[in-house]
Amino acid sequence: MNNFFILFTLCCSLLVPIKLKAATYSGSFSYNQDNNLSLGKSARDIISDDAYQLGIDIKHIILQKKSSRLTLSAAADFESFSTYDGLNSSQLKIKANYQFQFSNRFRSPTYNAFLQLGQGDYKSNLRDNINTEIGLGINWRYDDRTFLRGGLSSLSINADTTTDGSNLYQTFDNQRNTLFFAIKIKQSKRLSLYSSVSLINGDITANWSTQTIDEYALSFTTIRADWETIPDTIFADNWESTKYTADITKLALGFNYALDSKSAIDAIFQLLDADAGIYSYDIERLSVSYLRKF
């Protein structure tokens, strides 16, 4: 995608003036499992797979004051699936994050606002997209061991969804709003436990067999007309992708274990429950990562 290289060039142009010694670099290598990639409800529509992911991140504080700072970062992620390689992707993101405090007391919360621009390039061109996310958050240190976070964000995904070069679909265009709360507790110098809950409202795009879609069309004829559906054989022939609006609850539990001052092992388990009124699904995700600072 041309837009991918445009964003890459923009990231480079913004980060070139940064002194290399002043920036921080980090990388990650992850193994991920997802038991419902297709967001299916019935057994015939549920597709699972595992994937490997490589991430690279560069971050620099470009403005520092006594009670505030502005950070600019750029990240690149590459993901490869074991079976369904149409989901293989490269993601590039650039993010500006502004943090400030009203007081420098120990328990004084830190507030932040961020803007993130991203580009996703998939082997399945239907999913290629440009995305924008904005958000507000608060970080609060309760004591030396307990850290709390909360916030809200809005994500907009604009996909290049075409079939024959002339018809434009919006099946993979998604708009989602998220409210979240997280807690991290340091168990020791090396080990930290963390958990979070997120409430998400917005669009999701599921991939179903045409048999399932026809069954829902017969049962919910008035709603079927509002669904945006497009042929999509990324998982199997005679399947389609359908977009609809849902309320999603996401629960996460994880741990981080420091191997040394620059590397750590991180593992997280996520459980998602989505309700679209006439349709619902569940997802279990597991990710294990090796993290490294340079």
Tell whether the model's pLDDT for residue 186 goes beyond 90.
yes
Is the pLDDT assigned to residue 28 strictly greater than 70?
yes
Residue of higher predicted confidence among 67 and 33: 33
Cα 289–293–294 angle (5° rounding)?
135
Percent of the chain whose pLDDT exceeds 90: 60
Q: HEC string of 212-225?
A: HHHHHHHHCHHHHC
- Considering only residues 170 and 292, tell me which one the structure prediction assigns the higher pLDDT: 292
Give 144-183 pLDDT, tens digit per residue.
899 999 999 999 999 876 554 444 568 888 999 999 999 9
- In this prediction, residue 263 carries a pLDDT of 97
Q: Which domains does the chain have, with CATH numbers?
A: 2-293 (2.40.160.40)
Q: Which residue has the higher pLDDT, 212 or 199?
A: 199
The pLDDT of residue 177 is: 97
Q: 43 falls in which pLDDT band (50, 70, 90)?
A: confident
Residue 279 pLDDT: 75
Q: And the tokens for 278?
A: 């006439």
pLDDT for 231-272, tens place per residue? 888 888 888 888 888 899 999 999 999 999 999 999 999 999
User: CA-based angle 294:74:190, to the nearest 5?
Assistant: 40
The winner for highest mean pLDDT among 35-49, 196-210, 251-265 is 251-265
The confidence score (pLDDT) of residue 218 equals 52
Name the more confident of 126 and 120.
120
Asked whether the predicted pLDDT for residue 7 surpasses 80, the reply is: no
Mean pLDDT of 182-204: 96
Using the predicted structure, report yes or no on whether residue 135 has a pLDDT greater than 80.
yes
**Model confidence at 10, in pLDDT bands (50, 70, 90)?**
low
- Tokens representing 141? 């240190």
CA–CA separation, 91 and 100 (whole Å): 29
- On the question of pLDDT at 8 being above 70, the answer is no
Entry pTM = 0.86
Q: Percent of the chain at pLDDT above 70? A: 84
> Residue 208: pLDDT above 60?
yes
- For residue 40, is pLDDT > 50? yes
What is the C-alpha to C-alpha distance for residues 247 and 266, in angstroms, rounded to an integer? 28
- For the chain, what is the mean pLDDT? 86
Q: What is the rounded distance in angstroms from the CA atom of residue 294 to the CA atom of residue 279?
A: 46
**pLDDT category of residue 224 using cuts at 50, 70 and 90:** very low
35 torsion bin: left (phi>0), alpha (psi -120 to 50), beta (else): alpha
Alpha helices (H) in the chain, listed in sequence order: 2-15, 210-219, 221-224
87: pLDDT confidence band, cut at 50, 70 and 90? Answer: very high
**Of residues 209 and 181, more confidently modeled:** 181
For residue 41, the model assigns a pLDDT of: 79
C-beta neighbour count of 96 within 10 angstroms: 15
